[in-house]
Structure 1
Amino acid sequence: MNVLLRFDDAAFDDLIASLMIHYLEGCAPVLAEVRRILRPAGRLFTYVDHPIVAYTSQKQRPGYFAPTSYRLECEGSV
């Protein structure tokens, strides 16, 4: 990411990056931009896996950037 976000410096108290940071090959520029637009002591809320993954997967992931897929099977599903 070589593009600045269109926000002033220290524009936000909190930022949410939901289910997206793990898709970035290099997150340092993104995190630098996040730091720029967060106010001092601002917070970044993020997670990489959908919360249901922890309950449905019994397998260990092969690596942080490795492609993975999960299937959720429910009773009564077609």
Structure 2
Amino acid sequence: MEAQKGMSLSQQRFFGVDVGIGMLIDYRHSQAALKLYDALNAPNPTLMWQAVSEAQVALDKLEVELLHGEYPPFDR
């Protein structure tokens, strides 16, 4: 990220984990919520389930991104 270029390693970690992960959580939950809204308004079951599957993709991406944000406490 552009904002991290002039930061120290500890500042980069704080930004990436404590700030960035929170923003990713909000972003992915919003993506999933919008897809579920589309599912509720779908004109037929096929489109409904397609939107539900797309919502799940956003949440699966979040799960992987959260794994990247985890590190053992002794690394701080």
Higher helix share: 2
TM-score by length of 1: 0.27
Higher strand share: 1
Q: Quick one: higher RCO (CA 8 Å, sep 6+), 1 or 2?
A: 1
TM-score by length of 2: 0.27
